[in-house]
């Protein structure tokens, strides 16, 4: 009986892969794209749409080359939540040009997390 109860709990309590956070902290679009769903709802400042994994990686690569991540602060998680087997994180990305609010939403697909939504908004006051 405990086996039946522990399996769903384990699935729901799964953590966001460290590779996702590390890719954001280092501005590594190629590494981050490994976690993208085949199509992703992407908002990067003034670019908004549903893009393929490859297109989204190129848009992020452009963003990170124009907004180099500050190696001291990088990325800080401000809030993390979940519903069922899905998770989201809201955080602050620190770059040499200022701060950005980052939001991403992940769904579990075939036992692993895939990013379905990813947003970067200007957070400079």
How many other C-beta atoms lie within 10 A of the C-beta of residue 87? 21
pLDDT band at 125 (very low <50, low <70, confident <90, very high): low
**pLDDT tens-digit profile of 21-72?**
999 999 999 999 999 999 999 999 989 999 999 999 999 999 999 999 998 8
Number of domains composing the chain? 1
Q: What is the domain-level CATH number for residue 64? A: 3.10.450.50
- From 103, 113, 116, select the one nearest 13 (Cα to Cα): 113
**pLDDT tens-digit profile of 84-121?**
878 999 999 999 999 999 999 999 878 788 999 999 99
């Amino acid at each position: 009986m405990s086996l039946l109860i522990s399996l769903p709990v384990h699935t729901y309590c799964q953590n966001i892969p460290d590779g996702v956070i590390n890719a954001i902290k280092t501005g590594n679009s190629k590494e981050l794209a490994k976690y993208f769903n085949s199509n992703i709802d992407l908002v990067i400042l003034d670019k908004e749409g549903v893009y393929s994994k490859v297109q989204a990686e190129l848009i992020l690569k452009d963003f990170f080359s124009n907004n180099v991540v500050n190696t001291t602060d990088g990325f800080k998680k401000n809030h993390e939540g979940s519903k069922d087997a899905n998770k989201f994180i809201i955080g602050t990305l620190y770059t040499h040009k200022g701060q950005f609010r980052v939001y991403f939403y992940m769904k579990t697909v075939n036992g692993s997390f895939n990013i379905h939504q990813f947003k970067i908004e200007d957070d400079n006051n």
